[in-house]
Amino acid sequence: MATNTSWNAQLFSRYHRLHAQYHSYPAPEHAQYPISAFERYSALRSSRALQRPLALNINIPFCANACYNCTHKTTITKDRSRSTAYLQSLEHEIRMLAPHIRTATPITQLHIGGGTPTFLNSLELRQLMRCLQQHFNIVSHNFCNYSIDIDPRETDWATMGVLRDIGFNGIHIMVQALDAQVQRAINCLHTVEHTQKIVEAARTLQFRQVSISLTYGLPKQTPQAWNTTLSETLLLAPDRIRLQAFMHQPEQYPIQQRIVATDIPSTPDLALMLSDSLEQLANAGYRYIGMDYFALADDEYSTAQEDGALYCGPLGYSTCASSDTLGFGAGAISQLGELYYCTSTDHTAYQSACNTHQLPAAYGVRHNAEHNLRKDILDGLNTQFSLDFKTIEQRYHIDFQAYFSKEWPQLQRMHNDGLLQLSEDSLHMTPQGRLFTLAVCQIFDQYLAQPTLKPGVRTQVI
Ligand code: SF4
């Protein structure tokens, strides 16, 4: 089966990066400028005036079980009653923000993530959806993308029935790994048979899209164990597969201190896992979309990419151009025009703000021309694996090569290494280089190039 990417061991050793992908720019750790309630209300008014399409993003930052590899800001608790108070705060926040949006604006995309969204019980999930329906134009047809993250340990047929009944048509199952030894090492035990039942339920209930997320590079994971996990996943034939690299950062994520560093696979083993993945995925008919996403040829992402209609946003890939995203919940990300922010991940502070009818604290960045230029470049790389310098020059009134004169020698080195084809007019990732697009993106990240750069800095594009 033909594939749009192929394996090159030399490029892996030089350009494989263990770093978060650029769903947005700057990366969240560099978007930490306090964003006032006034700025948020103004951005909402402008979104309303320009009648931009709207996506909703809701965060449920609670989990009943701790995974030792977790990189999310979530609270681990067995006390399920905490969802009641959290849901009340969410409803307060929705009521504060919703009046600033045109009620006629259809919600093109809705995503509930976490944490574990099904930490809310079925009644609470219904209550949340009712609240959204009261305040937004949640469409009843099946063409918009309404998806939810699923922890297989927390979901069964009955849950799937409720999710479909209240309007979800996409699920993202966080499988991570199927090998028992690896599951024990990260404290995430479940069976492939159970995931199979969830997928069967999704197909029977006519969910439009089933996506499975796997993680490679986990402790105790051998290339053989990884091969089995991927083969068993492919038998379930999800529409999309996300392959995330495990990043061991115990200083940043204390729960990861429970992972023994020597259990983490070596770099040659990681290379083997990735090359094996490419072969298996191509043979099963999956295309590499970009970042860490693969999709079947008839999936919406694949067809949108062919048509040049694939976009990047805070929720990952999207097929809706110029859409704004409004987030609700502690740690939820929003993108309203040029304002990009995340509400405080401290859910106690989040709840006390909402309960006293104030917007919770938020941190982010207001995009300036420099950010827009770099975001456009990253989006071109991540959606089309290419850049047309003339288009960028006309849009931003720059001479590309002169403007990026410091970055140019690095691009030339990548050209010489076979990662990309560089000319005066354009840049194209080669089939061998596409898997390492992140390394090219990092060249254009001014925050990595100048670590002292402060969020919110205004750099003039000439
Ligand atoms: S990996 Fe997901 S399910 Fe596991 S603790 Fe983190 S957020 Fe919760």
Centre of ligand 1 from the C-alpha of residue 47, in Å = 33
Write down the pLDDT at residue 462.
Answer: 30
Residue nearest ligand 1's atom 4 by CA: 67
| DSSP β-ladder status, 54-60 and 324-328 | parallel
Is the domain of 19 the same as that of 58? no
pLDDT tens-digit profile of 349-407?
A: 999 999 999 999 999 999 999 999 999 999 999 999 999 999 999 999 999 999 999 99
Amino acid at the residue 8: N
Q: Which two tokens stand for residue 74?
A: 């979530």
Residue nearest ligand 1's atom 1 by CA: 70
Write down the pLDDT at residue 453.
Answer: 55
Atom index in ligand 1 nearest the CA of residue 114 equals: 7
Is the domain of 16 the same as that of 49? no
Is the domain of 86 the same as that of 222? yes
Q: Is residue 261 part of a domain?
A: yes
Centre of ligand 1 from the C-alpha of residue 288, in Å = 26
Centre of ligand 1 from the C-alpha of residue 294, in Å = 22
Is the domain of 98 the same as that of 220? yes
Residues of the chain with pLDDT under 70: 1-3, 450-462
Write down the pLDDT at residue 456.
Answer: 40
Is the domain of 158 the same as that of 73? yes
Centre of ligand 1 from the C-alpha of residue 244, in Å = 14
Pocket residues: Cβ below 6 A from ligand 1: 63, 66-67, 70, 72, 74, 114-116, 151, 174
- CA–CA distance from 145 to each of 37, 55, 125 (Å)? 29, 9, 17
Handedness of CA 190, 191, 197, 198 (dihedral sign): positive
Atom index in ligand 1 nearest the CA of residue 188 equals: 4
Is the domain of 23 the same as that of 65? no
Atom index in ligand 1 nearest the CA of residue 63 equals: 8
Residue nearest ligand 1's atom 7 by CA: 115
Centre of ligand 1 from the C-alpha of residue 142, in Å = 29
Residue nearest ligand 1's atom 6 by CA: 70
Write down the pLDDT at residue 452.
Answer: 56
Beta bridge partners of 113: 59
Centre of ligand 1 from the C-alpha of residue 71, in Å = 8
Tell me the backbone φ, ψ of residue 397, rounded to 5 degrees.
55, 50
Is the domain of 262 the same as that of 132? yes
Which candidate, 247, 267, 269, places its Cα nearest to that of 256? 247
Q: What is the CATH number of the domain that holds 454?
A: 1.10.10.920
Residue nearest ligand 1's atom 2 by CA: 115
pLDDT tens-digit profile of 1-20?
A: 345 888 999 999 999 988 88
Is the domain of 260 the same as that of 409? no
Domain of residue 126, residue span: 31-325
Helix axes 192-204, 157-165, angle to 10 degrees: 30
Is the domain of 116 the same as that of 72? yes
Amino acid at the residue 80: R
pLDDT tens-digit profile of 217-256?
A: 999 999 999 999 999 999 999 999 999 999 999 999 999 9
Write down the pLDDT at residue 215.
Answer: 97
Is the domain of 22 the same as that of 55? no
179: left (phi over 0), alpha (psi -120 to 50) or beta: beta
Q: Which two tokens stand for residue 214?
A: 């796997």
Tokens 């919940």 correspond to 329
Q: What is the CATH number of the domain that holds 261?
A: 3.20.20.70
